[in-house]
Structure 1
Amino acid sequence: MRLTQAKIERIRRVNPDIWHLELGQVDESLFRVKPGQTLLARIVDDEGETLSWDPYLREQWWPLGMTGQKTLLVERAANPRYEPGQHISLIGPVGEPYRFGQRAKNILLLAYDTAPTPLTVMIPWLLRHSLNVTLVLLGRARRYNTDHLSAEVEVIRGDDDGLGWPDQVMSFGWADQMFTVVSPDDELLRFGELRQLALERKVAIPNHFIYGVFQPVTVCGTGACYSCALRMSGSARPHLTCVDGPAFDLLDVRLD
């Protein structure tokens, strides 16, 4: 992980709510960033000085990977403060890549009351490797515009309030692996609800089947502050989201 600087070369609006930022002058350490790894970003001037302390902490950016023009593609919510030519201070890559089972063919993605960006960033990689993808949007996630996603992705919009969607038993039975993301306001509670739902809808939940992608406020990104620590079953040592995550097997996390 390194402190580097990049420049917004191009901004592309992929739908009314989502922009893709192309970052040029990217350090080679980020050329091989993988799905699941993130960046801690802050807008700076051309000399690297912070332009604003709002937000005070760096933002967590989810990269989609490199383009053919050797720019790093990042998905962000549409925001007028982003402009071509701006310089961005980056710390990264942060965390570990997502882990997919060698025999997995069907991947179920589920977003509950939050934007599914931590999940959608893995979709291009999954499709390139001929995996089947279903994206379930629940609660506030239902408002996420999916026009920019590949037509190969099945999108299911479930209940506006709660964890319901059609044919749940079929969805769980079809999936070889499941990745979920929830509103950061109370991740342990919401991930607990999803884990319980999976236990009720599937005959048996094997290890490495249902993962939660955690999004705590990241202070250091190096594992020094322990603000993102998670308690794990059968382990006295906490796991750190910024170092060991962001995805954890929900059967291992102590969600109580």
Structure 2
Amino acid sequence: MGKIVILTGAGISAESGLGTFRAEDGLWAQHRVEDVATPEGFARDPKLVVDFYNARRAQSAAAEPNAGHEALARLETYHPDEVIVVTQNVDDLHERAGTRNLIHMHGALSGALCHACDHRWPAPMVMAPGDPCPSCRRGTARPDIVWFGEMPYQMDEIFDHLASCEIFASVGTSGNVYPAAGFVAEARRMGARTIEFNLERSLVGDLFEDVRLGPATGTLPAWVDEVLSRTA
């Protein structure tokens, strides 16, 4: 059946209680993106940014993987060919559901990064401005999160997967954040079949051959059952 590449966005984690950018309540509604998710915001007020991600880390730790996360882990386990999950999310719900072939293109709350020497290490549950880097010892630690204006991680690897997949699926994404919003066009150009799972069509929804609307906790398990039944 061939390789399957799945892009996941905030929508899948929202069903575990984690807020999205556009939610009317929750952490994102309390701050401007420019203040907490840009290098410039971190330079202006590192405490605000670090405290914001400490709160997100605590929220993520209290959440549990849902049936959508578990369905993707089941697909990876039982599908005879490679399954790659590329996530825009910075929580660890995919890992806790059992997914192993995972690319965090926007970084992860579980990581810390030195913005002086680029050393990475596991983040404590509570970071503080000026935390020292274990490698260079300078007080230049930051959350290992890709902020607006920065290049997402592992892009070459992601495009290699898009070029070689038979199916590209997108789950819970808005379609207005690039480069991820361009993945469906790239996958189609390389001959992949495309399917979108969302509460409503994304801004790039017209590029998908198949669109399944509804909560991912329902649509994803049903789709995984379909896919695995064809490989039995």
The TM-score bracket by the shorter chain reads 0.3 to 0.5
Higher relative contact order (CA 8 A, sep 6+): 2
TM-score if structure 1 supplies the norm length? 0.33
